[in-house]
Amino acid sequence: MSALQPQAKRIIFACCALLMGTACTDGYPTDDAPILNPFKMTQKQRLVAMNKIGDDADLERSWRYELLPGCVLRIDVDGELRPSPAVDIALLGAAIQIARDRVDNTFSVAVAESGNSTQVLAPVLESQSRAMASRTQLLLRVIQRGCSDAAGKTVSPRAVFPWQSAP
């Protein structure tokens, strides 16, 4: 019986190792999700990526984006309290900025319209994740470049904020 004991230990050890090896992978992906290159995406795919970030960036708010004719970005924020009115801003020639708020440790992405002397910024995203803010800024810049290439670098229409009347 003492001769079977080492063999039984090996069998038990092998079974335990097998169970532990399969338990660790159960339900988890074996590969990382590929990061898509925004330079190889279509404008529609870039907006889908931005909307995904907008859904995940903040627990209290949801950011939605739509690209209107003339390269105008519609930004719609639905928050915990109530939905805000949508903001439309022309992307051609606009400055896309990212900033950090050290008080609440968030990162924000904003767009300042070209030729805007008062530099009114339209908020595009606010998140505690620097990666999400940086990815949004990159996507916006590539969308802007795509619009510029498609329009032949023409001047875009003026943005209309909720507190302004349409031109």
Tens digits of residue pLDDT in 75-132: 998 877 667 788 899 998 889 999 999 998 899 999 987 765 556 678 899 999 999 9
The model scores a pTM over 0.95? no
SS3 157: coil
CATH code, residues 38-151: 2.30.29
C-alpha to C-alpha distance for 54 and 63, rounded to whole angstroms: 4
Task: Quick: pLDDT tens for 9-64.
Answer: 777 776 666 666 655 555 555 665 566 788 999 999 999 999 999 998 887 888 99
Confidence of residue 160 (pLDDT cuts 50, 70, 90): very low
Task: Quick: pLDDT tens for 26-40.
Answer: 555 566 556 678 899
Query: Rounded to 5 degrees, what angle do the CA atoms 119, 124, 126 make?
Result: 110
H/E run at residue 87: strand 87-90
Closest CA to 94 of 78, 110, 108: 110
Domain segments of the chain: what residues? 38-151
